[in-house]
Amino acid sequence: DLDLDGIPILYIPGNAGSGRQVRSMGAQSAQDFDTLQAKTGNGPQRITFFAVDFAEELTAMSGSAFAAQIRFVNHCVQEILRLSQQAWAKRGKRGLLPRSVVLIGHSMGGLVATGVLALPSYATG
């Protein structure tokens, strides 16, 4: 069972990038959360990081690969929200129920994130 109790963030790597790049963001945000928690007694809402990994695919030169990544990321967003809703229900409907996912893209990953916003199946929120 996944304990998804934070704000969901999906990292999208750039051309020939790796989903493993998200590790430093996750580590730094956890450290910052703990520091704020220690100083104030209550910190900001936790963050749950997710990442897509396209196996270092070269998307800058392929329109079809780029389009496939956009569709895949859109599917990932829907799945993250579904899993978050299940986790929220298991917690007795306590805590945060995410209704959106923050997308962070590096280079071409940012263009993929922008492409998701243009899909007919994109749900605002």
Which of 29, 64, 84, 107 is labelled catalytic? Answer: 107
Please state, in angstroms and rounded to a whole number, the distance separating the CA atoms of residues 66 and 64: 5
For the chain, the maximum distance between any two Cα atoms, rounded to a whole number of angstroms, is 49
Q: What is the pLDDT of residues 5-48, one digit of tens each?
A: 888 999 999 888 888 888 888 889 888 888 888 888 776 678 89
How many C-alpha atoms does 10 have within 13 Å on its Cβ side?
24
- Secondary structure (3-state) at 120: coil
Q: What is the pLDDT of residues 35-94, one digit of tens each?
A: 888 888 776 678 899 999 988 777 777 788 889 999 999 999 999 999 999 999 998 888
Q: Which pair of structure tokens corresponds to residue 13?
A: 């790597």
Indicate if 84 belongs to the active site.
no
